[in-house]
Structure 1
Amino acid sequence: MPIIGVIAEYNPFHNGHIYQIQEVRHRYPTAHIVVVMSGAFTQRGLPAILDKWTRASIACMHGADLVAELPAVFALRSAQDFARGGIALLHRLGCVDYVAFGAESNPSILSALASTLENASTQKEIQRHIRAGDAYAVAVSKAISGQSLMDEDALRTPNNILAVEYLRSLHHLQSPIEPIALLRKSAAHNETKLQRDISSATAIRRACMASPPMWDAIRTAVPSESCHALQASAAEGYPSMDTLHRLLIREILTRSDAELSELAGVSEGIEHRLRRAAKESNSYEELADYVQNRRFPYSRVQRLLSYILLRLTKEDIAEFDRALPLYVRPLAFKKSAHVLTRIRKECRLPLISRVATELSEEQLLQTSQRTALQKMLRYDLLANDLQALSKPAIGTLRQDYLQSPICLP
């Protein structure tokens, strides 16, 4: 019985995700589906609209057999590192046969792009463009534009970018996991308008935050469980980085340039720009907009600001990149699938059901004497607390110590 991995954010879980799971089940009727999912924060550097346990349990209600958390130190990274963290975690489970992912291009184009990006000459060209001031994504696009049979536009879509990075990560890890590219149906990844049946997560979030929320349209784009959860969250107030703006200003203005330069993502003198922006901005959006430039596009700035709030250091990031994910943390699972039983037998990593067994609240507050696993896990807990603080009415703090994995029949 094959096990198929999926790397996702489910922010929120919608009809397009149901389609993906159904398509996998159509191709492999007897397969179990294991999802590696971002936790409290997403790759955009923003808090997820719903908590991680709710999103995971809804996914299990609609076809997933197990949802495990992608550690925050990989979930909050660029496409290359996000993909590497997700693939490495699936690989280390020891029992995953395939990884399925959405794409806008056929598999042959994706494979060709992945192979091209592995060439030393291509990497050299990418670095040349980066030194000239281009962001990584732009540098990659320029590096392949002149090469025969390479479709530069294929790397302009988020799903294709991730798909190519998944393929590269499988190659680097020499993983036996086989890729399954599923052509995307209907709405584009960042489509901002709701579509009939399948809409992008971006459009759904915008509809939720409209005044008033567009509930009739949202109901056509998400399963009922997601809609109910979104309505409940709306009543309390959705997470927002604007709520954390003052805390962010404090973090920036109470640190010296030397201290800021120790944080992940801070380079090329951006700490000076951060300090000026902190003094002049009246909102999170103003702050991020002020800081962005050619080398630091908006998405990169959003991640950088999250690193500042988490106090995520370059030293820790370097250690995590060497170690890759160090644990499996189930958020929700189907008891009847017995996937956890198989993972316990074959997985190369510790399986964490109770956080306190690996990281006590006392150890959480220590500044030293932590193992790499404890450091990595600590950032998950800090990210979840930040998500709670980003709500208009503060959510449950230290929830990771209170919440067990959700077990469904």
Structure 2
Amino acid sequence: MNVLGIVAEYNPFHNGHEYQIKELKKQIDADYCIIAMSGNFLQRGIPSILSKHCRAEMALRAGADLVIEIPSVWACSSAEYFANGGVNTLLNTGVITHLGFGAETTKLSMLKTLARIFVENNPSVQSNLFSMIRSGNNYATARANSLNTLIDFVSANKILTDSINSGDIHLLELADSNINEVLSASNNILGIEYLKVLLKNNSSVIPISLPRKGGTYNTQEITGRFSSATSIRNDIFKNIDTNLDSYSKMEADEIQKHASDNASTITWFEAVPETTRKIILKNEQILIHEDDISSMLGYKLFLEKNKTYSDYADCSVNFSNKIANNIYEYENFTQFRHLLKSKDITYTRLSRILLHILLNIKQTDYDLGKELGYAPYLRILGFNKNSKDLLSHIKQNSNSPMITKVADASNILDNKKYSFFEKDLYISDIYNQLILQKKNNATQLKNEFNQPLVIV
């Protein structure tokens, strides 16, 4: 039995995601496809445009068989932690045979070599890395530059040793590649981190990559059928956010006609599968924009302005002081990010730190999650009713407790695992408050205890 595993966010699910699932399943003749998906807050440090259950349904209607939630602490963390949360979730099912992911490069062997170098903690790379970070470079730039230094040294001295001959290709072959470009591409970065997790687990799971189609990760404008999630979100908010109530009253055939009539002006229609389009247009939930967290974040920042923010995950003492020194300039999430931005920190990392403060994600949560092996339970969000046998296979092969009903979690998880799971519940409650701010109808709002599984 071949089972494909994919780590994803689907914010929202688009044509590129559908292509990835179908193409990878075809390549390995997969019997099933399992998705480890972020919950309601994401790796870029922002809330998702639609709830995790809506996005799980999008995936299930487009080729996925099972969607499992990545623990929230890792879903809005750095690439390394995000990958550990996602890949370990998949590995803990006990049935994954292949791990699929998108990449900007066509050379999986190059990504394998880079992953092995970083896992082995090559002393030369590590020394240069820390030196460059101390000099004010952000982590991504410092890592690329330190690796380039090692490659230049090896190339100049014609060194051929087992310690440097890592992975599937020799390090010297990397000299012909633009390492900075490879290590700055979003999907490559995540791909390397996924491969690192496989190496650390000494896993027999086979990695398989697929070149990204269409616009790059951060492309702002729609570029056709294969467009970035960022550009799709931008176009969605531009065109339908204020009219969602009218769309929610449409029947399926009306939605299709509306899409055809407006395809020339509402360009996101062509960039997502029809099933995704219908879920977005018909769903009762109001779409969430990243600045919708502004009021709650501002309240939390002012509430703790006389304390230190450095207890929160990834927030240094220096950055904590920077927040405190600028707190009275706070207007909203986007504005405050721009105000705090500096050379040594990316917008994404900055966003995550602020999100950690809002969601109460502290270093102690990281410590507990790592102690528990990153993915101490399998929280099922939904499945395809034709794939029930897959759940049986997981129950037979996995040592991780499976959560299908939130109310049962306290009975099947020990105290430490349940404490970690409670963070997921709290973070979902925060997201539901964002919806409530727009929806203003608490009686129709599903919480974690009465939200049913998505079954399609």
> What's the TM-score once normalised by structure 2's chain length?
0.83
CA spacing shift, 1:372–1:134, aligned 2, 3 Å:
farther
Question: Take 1:212 and 1:335, find their aligned partners in 2: how far apart are those partners?
Answer: 32
Q: Once the 2 structures are TM-superposed, how far is the Cα of residue 359 of structure 1 from its aligned partner?
A: 4.1
Q: Once the 2 structures are TM-superposed, how far is the Cα of residue 374 of structure 1 from its aligned partner?
A: 1.7
Is the counterpart of residue 393 in structure 1 residue 439 in structure 2?
Answer: yes
The residue number in structure 2 matching 1:123 is 126
Q: Which amino acid aligns with 1:20?
A: Q
Q: Which amino acid aligns with 1:176?
A: S
Question: Take 1:134 and 1:268, find their aligned partners in 2: how far apart are those partners?
Answer: 18
The residue number in structure 2 matching 1:195 is 223
Between stretches 166-175 and 379-388, larger displacement belongs to 379-388
Q: Once the 2 structures are TM-superposed, how far is the Cα of residue 35 of structure 1 from its aligned partner?
A: 0.5
Q: Alignment RMSD, CA only? A: 2.0
Q: Is the CA contact 1:190–1:202 (under 8 Å) kept in the aligned structure 2?
A: yes
Q: Which amino acid aligns with 1:407?
A: I
203, 210, 213: which one pairs with 1:182? 210
Is the counterpart of residue 348 in structure 1 residue 351 in structure 2?
Answer: no
406, 416, 419: which one pairs with 1:372? 416
The residue number in structure 2 matching 1:284 is 333
Identity of aligned residues (%): 30
Q: Is the CA contact 2:116–2:199 (under 8 Å) kept in the aligned structure 1?
A: no
Secondary structure, counterpart of 1:261 in structure 2: coil
Q: Once the 2 structures are TM-superposed, how far is the Cα of residue 123 of structure 1 from its aligned partner?
A: 2.2
Deviations 1:70-111 (A, max 9, x none): 111111111111111111111111111110000111112212
Secondary structure, counterpart of 2:402 in structure 1: coil
140, 148, 156: which one pairs with 1:137? 140
Q: Which amino acid aligns with 1:121?
A: S
Secondary structure, counterpart of 1:102 in structure 2: strand
Question: Take 1:288 and 1:397, find their aligned partners in 2: how far apart are those partners?
Answer: 31
Instruction: Count residues in correspondence.
Output: 398
Between stretches 284-293 and 254-263, larger displacement belongs to 254-263
Is the counterpart of residue 302 in structure 1 residue 348 in structure 2?
Answer: no
Secondary structure, counterpart of 1:210 in structure 2: helix
CA spacing shift, 1:174–1:258, aligned 2, 3 Å:
farther
Higher gyration radius (CA)? 2
The residue number in structure 2 matching 1:405 is 453
Deviations 1:376-402 (A, max 9, x none): 212212222222222433576661111
The residue number in structure 1 matching 2:2 is 2
Q: Once the 2 structures are TM-superposed, how far is the Cα of residue 230 of structure 1 from its aligned partner?
A: 2.2
CA spacing shift, 1:318–1:353, aligned 2, 3 Å:
same
Secondary structure, counterpart of 2:6 in structure 1: strand
Q: Is the CA contact 1:9–1:42 (under 8 Å) kept in the aligned structure 2?
A: yes
Q: Is the CA contact 1:94–1:346 (under 8 Å) kept in the aligned structure 2?
A: yes
Q: Once the 2 structures are TM-superposed, how far is the Cα of residue 211 of structure 1 from its aligned partner?
A: 4.8
The residue number in structure 2 matching 1:92 is 92
CA spacing shift, 1:134–1:398, aligned 2, 3 Å:
farther
Q: Is the CA contact 1:101–1:180 (under 8 Å) kept in the aligned structure 2?
A: yes
Question: Take 1:252 and 1:326, find their aligned partners in 2: how far apart are those partners?
Answer: 31
Q: Is the CA contact 2:12–2:229 (under 8 Å) kept in the aligned structure 1?
A: yes
Between stretches 259-268 and 319-328, larger displacement belongs to 259-268
CA spacing shift, 1:253–1:6, aligned 2, 3 Å:
same
Question: Take 1:255 and 1:152, find their aligned partners in 2: how far apart are those partners?
Answer: 39
Question: Take 1:186 and 1:407, find their aligned partners in 2: how far apart are those partners?
Answer: 31
Tell me, which stretches of 5 or more residues in structure 1 are unaligned?
A: 361-369
CA spacing shift, 1:212–1:87, aligned 2, 3 Å:
closer
The residue number in structure 1 matching 2:191 is 163
Q: Is the CA contact 1:381–1:398 (under 8 Å) kept in the aligned structure 2?
A: no
Is the counterpart of residue 328 in structure 1 residue 378 in structure 2?
Answer: yes
Question: Take 1:170 and 1:259, find their aligned partners in 2: how far apart are those partners?
Answer: 37
How do 1:49-88 residues align onto structure 2 when only pairs under 5 Å count?
49-88=49-88
Q: Which amino acid aligns with 1:393?
A: K
> What's the TM-score once normalised by structure 1's chain length?
0.92
Question: Take 1:201 and 1:101, find their aligned partners in 2: how far apart are those partners?
Answer: 16
The residue number in structure 2 matching 1:315 is 364
153, 173, 176: which one pairs with 2:181? 153
Question: Take 2:18 and 2:367, find their aligned partners in 1: how far apart are those partners?
Answer: 36
Tell me, which stretches of 5 or more residues in structure 2 are unaligned?
A: 152-171, 242-261
Q: Is the CA contact 2:99–2:206 (under 8 Å) kept in the aligned structure 1?
A: yes
The residue number in structure 1 matching 2:167 is none
Q: Is the CA contact 1:2–1:31 (under 8 Å) kept in the aligned structure 2?
A: yes
Is the counterpart of residue 245 in structure 1 residue 294 in structure 2?
Answer: yes
Q: Which amino acid aligns with 2:51?
A: D
Q: Is the CA contact 2:2–2:32 (under 8 Å) kept in the aligned structure 1?
A: yes
Q: Is the CA contact 2:69–2:381 (under 8 Å) kept in the aligned structure 1?
A: yes
Deviations 1:249-281 (A, max 9, x none): 221222255442222122132122212333112
The residue number in structure 1 matching 2:169 is none
Question: Take 2:205 and 2:320, find their aligned partners in 1: how far apart are those partners?
Answer: 41
Q: Which amino acid aligns with 2:45?
A: G
Q: Is the CA contact 1:114–1:164 (under 8 Å) kept in the aligned structure 2?
A: yes
The residue number in structure 2 matching 1:364 is none
Question: Take 1:186 and 1:256, find their aligned partners in 2: how far apart are those partners?
Answer: 44
The runs of at least 4 aligned residues of structure 1 exceeding 4 Å deviation read 211-215, 256-259, 394-398
Q: Is the CA contact 1:194–1:204 (under 8 Å) kept in the aligned structure 2?
A: yes
Q: Which amino acid aligns with 1:28?
A: I
Question: Take 2:445 and 2:22, find their aligned partners in 1: how far apart are those partners?
Answer: 36
Q: Which amino acid aligns with 1:318?
A: D
CA spacing shift, 1:212–1:36, aligned 2, 3 Å:
closer
Question: Take 2:94 and 2:194, find their aligned partners in 1: how far apart are those partners?
Answer: 17
CA spacing shift, 1:125–1:245, aligned 2, 3 Å:
same
CA spacing shift, 1:230–1:277, aligned 2, 3 Å:
farther
Q: Is the CA contact 2:73–2:365 (under 8 Å) kept in the aligned structure 1?
A: no
Question: Take 1:229 and 1:277, find their aligned partners in 2: how far apart are those partners?
Answer: 40
Q: Which amino acid aligns with 1:113?
A: L
The residue number in structure 2 matching 1:265 is 314
